Amino acid sequence: MVDKYRLVQAAQKTAQFAYAPYSGLSVGAAISFIGTDKIYTGCNVENRSYGLTICAERSAICAGVSDGYRHISCVALAVYEPSGALAVGSVVPCGACLQFISEFSSSPQIKDVEIFVAGGGSFKLSDLLPQTFSIT
């Protein structure tokens, strides 16, 4: 499993590439998957039509899935305010991203994906999304 500090550092580095002219919040995500030591990263890419915005978490997950991985082991996020300061406090993935993380966290080796936030804090997926959408 990838070291959480490396994961947080990767999220912080990737946040600098965010395209966030509307919210002003630059978000970087780093995801580790079971079966590889590679870290997959993504940043938010906003759009005038907010529904078309791509969140950092989903961007990073898609990169890993495109490489053939299906089971997330952990997630790291870094969010920077328009001033360039690291946002701290109630920084968590949006509901869509939580569901997306859930889709790729159903491995018997990982009971609950941990989500680390740069600047402090960690959460379990089940604490943030106690009821996931499921067709079973």
Q: Is 57 a catalytic residue?
A: yes
Supply the CATH classification number for the domain 4-128: 3.40.140.10
pLDDT tens by residue, 30-73: 999 999 999 999 999 999 998 999 999 999 999 999 999 999 99
Query: In the prediction, which pLDDT does 120 show?
Result: 84
Alpha carbon separation from 100 to 11, 43, 119 (Å, rounded)? 18, 15, 23
Query: In the prediction, which pLDDT does 112 show?
Result: 86
3 state SS for 25-50: CEEEEEEEECCCCCEEEEECECCCCH
Query: In the prediction, which pLDDT does 56 show?
Result: 98
pLDDT tens by residue, 70-121: 999 999 999 999 999 999 877 899 999 999 999 998 765 566 899 999 998 8
Mean pLDDT of the chain: 92
Query: In the prediction, which pLDDT does 58 show?
Result: 97
Split at pLDDT 50, 70, 90, the class of 136 is: low
Split at pLDDT 50, 70, 90, the class of 122 is: very high
Active-site annotation holder among 57, 81, 103, 114: 57
Question: What are the sequence ranges of the domains in the chain?
Answer: 4-128
> Comparing C-alpha atoms, which of 135, 134, 46 is closest to residue 94?
46
